A and B are shown apart, each in its own frame.
Chain A
């Protein structure tokens, strides 16, 4: 190996390192931003240890998706966008009706079902551009963590409502997608 080849190899390694560092920095910023967006969902109704775990998990999925890139990143982005409604809907509704958090526990968890419906539709439509396991795994992880923040106060009923909403919203979108080829 000649001296110029050695220095080019070093340069290539340094460039690769710079690329990965730059990617990680961007990912950390996005993760922090995602956590900031989901924070109202955490503060308004949840605020428990489990909710903290979900908030951290959501940020982590966004960071990991961005670092890994490609379908993982697209999936994390789609899941995060889809998770906005079920995550923030209970928080927004509780600012209008302060008793909503308590009502969520006792009554029908409509914010979770409605949020799930919107999330399912968004995910079904965004899934058009990219498919495959990496996309769906990261999308569902991001959606799951974000949506859980809004639905934790409603307990099992909330998660059932969320699941029902996601299926009800996502299935038609997927059927339409398949029909369009």
Chain B
């Protein structure tokens, strides 16, 4: 970020901390590409977008507590770095789970509300799966059933992660997780 942009970021975050809502839009426009670019240096594109979104929400939630004496860029990137680290840890755990097989399932019997909610969720998931490329859907269904196609373990894991990323992106567009 150039010195002018850095100075503008400082001014906008300081103004927002004071409660000046007019600074919200320019700050959003400045922060979002910055955080996304920062996260993409360390994570895959889908993971980076998730991490950047969470960092952005966290920054705006804490914007009122921002101390104008601090450097706004360093503060924002500090929050983003924490989020990136969290995502990397989560991704490592997921990879471990994929390598270790499916987790044990709980007793499926539940209350009528739970059954209805599960039915709606399953239908929504089915619609999202139908929108995915056929290979992605097949690999996810195989993973969900605990089947292992005739592929090397690392390749299978990568394909599952890629397909999950695409599924997550479509789910986000349709169901607004924010």
Contact = CB atoms under 8 A, between A and B. Distances in A.
Interface of A: 3, 6-8, 10-16, 18-19, 21-23, 26, 66-70, 72-73
B65 interface: yes
Given A14-B178, A26-B64, A26-B65, A70 B20 contact: yes
Q: Which applies to chain A's interface (DSSP): helix, strand, loop or mixed?
A: helix
Interface stretch (B53-61, B72-80, B100-108): B53-61
Q: Which applies to chain B's interface (DSSP): helix, strand, loop or mixed?
A: helix
Contacts of B19: 23, 66-70, 72-73
Nearest to A4: B173
B158 interface: no
A15 B173 contact: no
A3 to B, nearest CB: 6
A28 to B, nearest CB: 12
A96 to B, nearest CB: 38
A22 B24 CA distance: 14
A8 B20 contact: no
28 contacts: A3-B173, A6-B173, A7-B173, A8-B32, A11-B32, A11-B53, A11-B56, A11-B178, A12-B28, A14-B178, A15-B28, A15-B57, A15-B60, A16-B60, A18-B57, A18-B61, A19-B16, A19-B24, A19-B60, A19-B64, A21-B61, A22-B62, A23-B19, A67-B19, A69-B21, A70-B18, A70-B19, A73-B18
A7 B18 contact: no
Interface of B: 16, 18-21, 24-25, 28, 32, 53, 56-58, 60-65, 172-173, 176, 178
The 8 closest A-B pairs by CB, nearest first: A69-B19, A14-B178, A22-B61, A18-B61, A19-B60, A15-B60, A23-B64, A18-B60
